[in-house]
Amino acid sequence: MADADTLVLPEGAASDWTIPQNWNAYTPEEHAVWDTLFERQAKLLPGRVAPEFLEGLDILRLSKPGIPDFEELSDRLMKATGWQVVAVPGLVPDAVFFDHLAERRFVAGSFIRKPDQLDYLQEPDVFHDVFGHVPLLANPVFADYMQAYGIGGQRAGGRGAIDLLARLYWYTVEFGLIQSAEGLRLYGAGIVSSRSESIFALDDPSPNRIRFDLKRIMRTQYKIDDFQQTYFVIDSFDDLLDRTLNTDFAPLYDELIGAEEIAPDAVLPDDRVIHRGTQAYSRSR
């Protein structure tokens, strides 16, 4: 998501900001970057990531070498949950982003990072967007959550509540953890597409790990250029969807707009804390 006021429709993009993926234009070197990233994460994530994510990799056949062709990927995804993947030039305005999600379309950047950017890239590329996000869209419950989020975003725009709703996306879709019978597992795309954060989010003593609370999350600031200081833990995807569908967000927005914000590293007296972090981590990525 991005501030609509800072973005201009790129030349060659359709009115909904989509562009052709132009899969045949990818070079062997670009496909090799995808394969390197995929192999690294595929070895690391079993036992660390939610099983629904691994199931999505299999359903969508993402282990096939090379950058996925969005048309082929969308065919498989459509059969699974009615979603499709569409290419965009980069960040898109909030309203465009929400409209696509509401129609079960996931927008993905078509470019891929350079070989010297394997460990960190601030702007999301095709590996982050497709490897990180798309496997869970093959899960019916999470797919419904993403659509519900998009519909909620369409409503939030008119209430001046985009920043509040963006925090929900950040702390679930991008950097969420889930409680399983085997322990905490990863599911947020910003974690599962990053080797270093896949380790940090579960193993490092520095960050807080706190149980999901909708109002708490929507008041909590976050960092975009470093590891998270707090991760929020959902009980299940069903519970996440239920809370989203059965919450009246309008009075919640009215209550929270202008309310005191919570620092990313804070622990409140009424938080349900799984792990209180040491906050010892201070290095940049």
Q: Among all chains, which residue has been given the structure tokens 């007296």?
A: 269
More confident residue, 90 or 175: 175
Concatenate the DSSP letters of all residues of 249-278 into one string: HHHHHHHHTTPPPB-TT---TT--EEE---
CA angle 58, 59, 62 (to 5 degrees): 55
Class of domain 4-275 (CATH, top level): mainly alpha
The letter for the amino acid at 248 is: D
DSSP tag of 116:
G
Burial of residue 129 (number of CB atoms within 10 Å: 0-12, 13-18, 19+): buried
For residue 45, the cross-strand partners are: none
Q: Which of 213, 13, 172, 206 is nearest to 100 (CA)?
A: 13
Average pLDDT along the chain = 94
253 Cβ neighbours under 8 A, 6+ residues apart: 156, 159, 160, 161, 164
- pLDDT for the residue 123: 85
pLDDT in tens, 21-70: 999 999 999 999 999 999 999 999 999 999 999 999 999 999 999 999 99
From residue 234, how far is each of 32, 43, 142, 242 by CA, in Å? 35, 25, 12, 12
The answer on pLDDT for 5 being more than 70 is no
The answer on pLDDT for 20 being more than 90 is yes
The answer on pLDDT for 233 being more than 80 is yes
> What tokens appear for 70 in the block?
């969005």
pLDDT in tens, 101-160: 999 999 999 999 999 998 887 789 999 999 999 999 999 999 999 999 999 999 998 888
Q: Which of 266, 254, 269 is nearest to 228 (CA)?
A: 266
pLDDT-based confidence at 215, cuts 50/70/90?
very high
Calculate the CA dihedral of residues 250, 256, 258, 261 and round it to 10 degrees: -150
DSSP tag of 205:
S
**Alpha helices of the chain — where are they, by DSSP H?**
28-44, 51-60, 70-81, 94-102, 126, 140-156, 162-169, 189-192, 195-203, 214-219, 237-245, 249-256
Q: pTM of the prediction?
A: 0.94
Burial of residue 24 (number of CB atoms within 10 Å: 0-12, 13-18, 19+): exposed
